[in-house]
Amino acid sequence: MSSEDLKESCLIEVDNFLRENEKSLEDYECMPKLKEPNSGIFNNILLENEFKYDYDEMKILQDEHVGNLNSEQLFAYEAIYKVVDNGLGSMFFVDGYGGTGKTFLWKTISYKLRSKGKIVVNVASSGIACILLPGGKTAHSQFGIPLVLTKESCCQIDKGSKKAQLLIMTNLIIWDEAPMINKWAFEAFERTLQDIMNGKIGIPEDGESIVEIPRDILIQSSRNLIGDIVEAIYPNLLENISVPDFFQDRAILAPTLDVVEEINDYVLALMPGDAKEYLSCDSISKGDDDVGVDLRWITTEFLNEIKCSGMPNHKLIIKVGVVIMLLRNIDVSSGLCNGTRLIVFHTGISVIGAKIVTGTNIGDIVYISRMSLVPSDANVSISFRRRQFPFCVCFAMTINKSQGQTLCHVGLYLPRPVFTHGQLYVAISRVKTRAGLKILIVDDDGLAKTSTVNVVYPEVFQRIYR
């Protein structure tokens, strides 16, 4: 092969990789171009990718899946397909507890429509859920939803852009884990759709009620509240610690980060072995002097104190055997995404060795190094960077972080009620069986209660499969 041909082959290969991620060499001025550029249909890679599906293969998959649908899945499948096929335009909210086959339904509908040459855009609110959808992406990346949202936000989709063309031609949008995203994200997306398509869908939904929790699910509390919930979910911790997979299917959920940290510190202290401490290196983002804050007051110690959602703490303490959760999408194709849980087996100076225990790559061994992270939390008004391992300890996790996980034992600890629509539903639907669910609700005096404020339907408890 001549060096010219070799160069062309390399460029084709690079172009193919870029196309898988909805870019091409044409998007980069500095890159050499292909001799015969692949302009594709409509000169739009997003549409090109949607029309790449092999109709016969989709038909086979569709037949396989439809034949297996249970009656409830079939009902939803037929209702949705009828509306899409007739171009009627509608919105469906498909409600189902964890593991009852929602993703299976999305797949079936996607195969069916794709086998007919229709376009289905599959998104999920979290990275961990989107890898389970055929051709899935996070809602943020697919719709250009801003990381920092306000009431007036719009998505970063320009009229006439490739993304706008795709949305105009789309027959169905499937949004998995929808309740777990800030409502401003939907409002931003709706505004954007109105802008590029002149349409309006959906009506506001809201509601709040007191939900009485059945006795068999409640934890009878002593005065050691955290000890009680830990014992309910991680019984006889010291004896069971060496049992393979003991931690794999268990987690305690709580509404806020401070409570989650308290539980994690408690369990960490119970575990045998030497604790290793990893400190981050924090710095103000360069050139970010427009925040209206006198930067002379922002000391390193001040930055170190900042704790926010989606960001590891300045001080990370772990031991061998500890369960951790990734806080960034590192390599989605290898199952290393935001929300993946792992168990630490090596605590090196610059790398942490861990085994994946959730998602698509269970059992894989990975080594994680430090990375530079910036907060995406809208409540953090200072732009700063933190160089730290991109994970947190996760015997307990926030309800929001638990989306996409299906577990055998879930402890829900509510020292204060859930605070956003759908949160209690998400927490409870993480568990596979009613027997695996334990809830501890605490009043202002630290005493166990039997009810909590909620914004979903009480029937949820009657229909968890036993």
Ligand X SMILES: Nc1ncnc2c1ncn2[C@@H]1O[C@H](COP(=O)(O)OP(=O)(O)OP(=O)(O)O)[C@@H](O)[C@H]1O
**To the nearest whole angstrom, how small is the minimum distance from the Cβ of residue 75 to ligand X?**
12
Query: For ligand X, which stretch binds (CB under 6 A), given 69-77, 112-120, 223-231, 458-466?
Result: 69-77
**To the nearest whole angstrom, how small is the minimum distance from the Cβ of residue 106 to ligand X?**
8
Q: Does 102 bind ligand X (CB under 6 A)?
A: yes
Q: Which of 14, 31, 66, 69 forms a contact with ligand X (CB under 6 A)? A: 69
Residue closer to ligand X by CB (options 339, 415) is 339
Q: Does 96 bind ligand X (CB under 6 A)?
A: yes
**To the nearest whole angstrom, how small is the minimum distance from the Cβ of residue 441 to ligand X?**
23
Q: Which of 31, 51, 99, 116 forms a contact with ligand X (CB under 6 A)? A: 99
The three-class DSSP label of residue 136 is: coil
Q: Does 406 bind ligand X (CB under 6 A)?
A: yes
Q: Does 73 bind ligand X (CB under 6 A)?
A: yes
Residue closer to ligand X by CB (options 73, 153) is 73
Site for ligand X in 426-455 (CB under 6 A): 429
3-state secondary structure the chain: CCHHHHHHHHHHHHHHHHHHCCCCHHHCCCCCCCCCCCCCHHHCHHHHHHCCCCHHHHHHHHHHHHHHCCHHHHHHHHHHHHHHHCCCCCCCCCCCCCCCCHHHHHHHHHHHHHHCCCCEEEEECCHHHHCCCCCCEEHHHHHCCCCCCCCCCCCCCCCCCHHHHHHHHCCEEEEECHHHCCHHHHHHHHHHHHHHHCCCCCCCCCCCEEEECCHHHECCCCCCHHHHHHHHHCCCHHHHCCCCCCCCCEEEEECCHHHHHHHHHHHHHHCCCCCEEEECEEEECCCCCCCCCCHHHCCHHHHHHCCCCCCCCCEEEECCCCEEEECCCCEHHHCECCCCEEEEEEECCCEEEEEECCHHHCCCEEEEECEEECCCCCCCCCCEEEEECCEEECCEEECHHHCCCCECEEEEEECCCCCCCCHHHHHHCCECCHHHEEEEEECCCCCEECEEEECCCHHHHCCCCC
**To the nearest whole angstrom, how small is the minimum distance from the Cβ of residue 222 to ligand X?**
32
Q: Does 184 bind ligand X (CB under 6 A)?
A: no
Residue closer to ligand X by CB (options 40, 96) is 96
Residue closer to ligand X by CB (options 20, 63) is 63
For the window 301-330, what string marks contact with ligand X as x by the rule CB under 6 A? ------------------------------
Residue closer to ligand X by CB (options 39, 68) is 68
**To the nearest whole angstrom, how small is the minimum distance from the Cβ of residue 101 to ligand X?**
3
**To the nearest whole angstrom, how small is the minimum distance from the Cβ of residue 73 to ligand X?**
6
Residue closer to ligand X by CB (options 84, 124) is 124
Token pair, residue 132, equals 């389970």
Residue closer to ligand X by CB (options 120, 219) is 120
Site residue total, ligand X (CB under 6 A): 14
Residue closer to ligand X by CB (options 398, 429) is 429
Q: Does 362 bind ligand X (CB under 6 A)?
A: no
Residue closer to ligand X by CB (options 100, 329) is 100
Q: Does 134 bind ligand X (CB under 6 A)?
A: no
Please give the residue ranges that form the binding site for ligand X (CB under 6 A): 68-70, 73, 96, 98-104, 406, 429
